[in-house]
Amino acid sequence: MAIATLKPLVGLLGNLIILWLFVSPIPTFVKIINKKTVGEFKPDPYLATLLNCALWFFYGLPRVCPNFNSLYYCYFHGPIPIDPAIIGTGIFLELVYIAIFFAYSSATKRINVIIALVIEVFCLLLVALAITIPSYRPSVRCRILDYLCVLSNVIMYGSPLTVMKMVIETKSVKYMPHYLSVAYFCSGVVWLIHTFITRAYFSILLMTYGLGSALGLVQLILYAHYYKTAQWDDENVKKPEPERQLSGV
């Protein structure tokens, strides 16, 4: 009885944290807009999250998984219960983030973003084609999307690896999105707890959210370790004034 009560509460908490994950990059992009440059920020987390949201959107289509749009079904029976409205919010916000990143990027970074988006669209078209094959039963379509969504979760949680590499090399967390790192960690922990409670797809979800929690924790440890050595405002560092020439001597 206690577990039956706890399950929807953890699902609800997980949805709130997912929403927080989607809005957590806002301070980063406010900074980008104010400085009119992306600096050394990377688009990887936002591109990966967009792909993740798009796959969950497919998962929520009535033709694919008819019961997904029922929140009761999600919280009590779904292997990974995410509210479709939150998924829609995530897609919108990630597109906004990518548009801002594109607007304030160099030509090289813009090309990389375009290439990544083309690859994602191509992959999503293949997925859409696969899940609309008439011979597939709803249970088969759901199973295909289950594993694809789990795979995209791994990609999303692993996307900050490029940022972590830069942090270690530069010994600075100036371009590490701190709030996003906290959100990744909390999301991984909550969904890991949900996996233990529901025991749905236990082994693969345990690996996925265990990895997400670990990567989030590593990011927070790196942030704490290199926080003091970060050059937060290089452009505002006061330069020493040149020595004045003495006159009349």
pLDDT at position 2? 60
| Cβ atoms 183, 14 nearer than 8 A | no
DSSP run (H or E) holding 9:
helix 2-23
- 194-216 pLDDT per residue, tens: 777 776 665 666 777 788 888 88
Q: How confident is the model at residue 77 (pLDDT cuts 50, 70, 90)?
A: very low
pLDDT at position 147? 79
pLDDT at position 138? 67
Higher pLDDT, 23 or 59: 23
- 86-114 pLDDT per residue, tens: 888 999 999 999 999 999 999 999 999 99
Half-sphere exposure of 133 (CA within 13 A, CB side): 13
**Smallest Cα–Cα separation from 163: which of 71, 1, 38?**
38
Place of tokens 């970060």: 230
Higher pLDDT, 158 or 124: 124
- 171-193 pLDDT per residue, tens: 877 778 878 888 888 888 888 88
Q: Indicate if the pLDDT at residue 235 is higher than 50.
A: no
The CA distance from 78 to 66, in Å, is 12
pTM: 0.80
pLDDT at position 203? 61
> Alpha helix locations (H) across 60-201?
71-76, 84-103, 107-131, 138-158, 161-170, 178-198
CA angle 10, 15, 20 (to 5 degrees): 120
> Alpha helix locations (H) across 171-201?
178-198
Q: Indicate if the pLDDT at residue 126 is higher than 60.
A: yes
| Cβ atoms 180, 159 nearer than 8 A | no
How many of the other CB atoms lie within 10 Å of CB of 59? 23
pLDDT at position 241? 44
The CA distance from 15 to 82, in Å, is 6
DSSP run (H or E) holding 226:
helix 202-226
What is the arithmetic mean of pLDDT over 222-246?
57
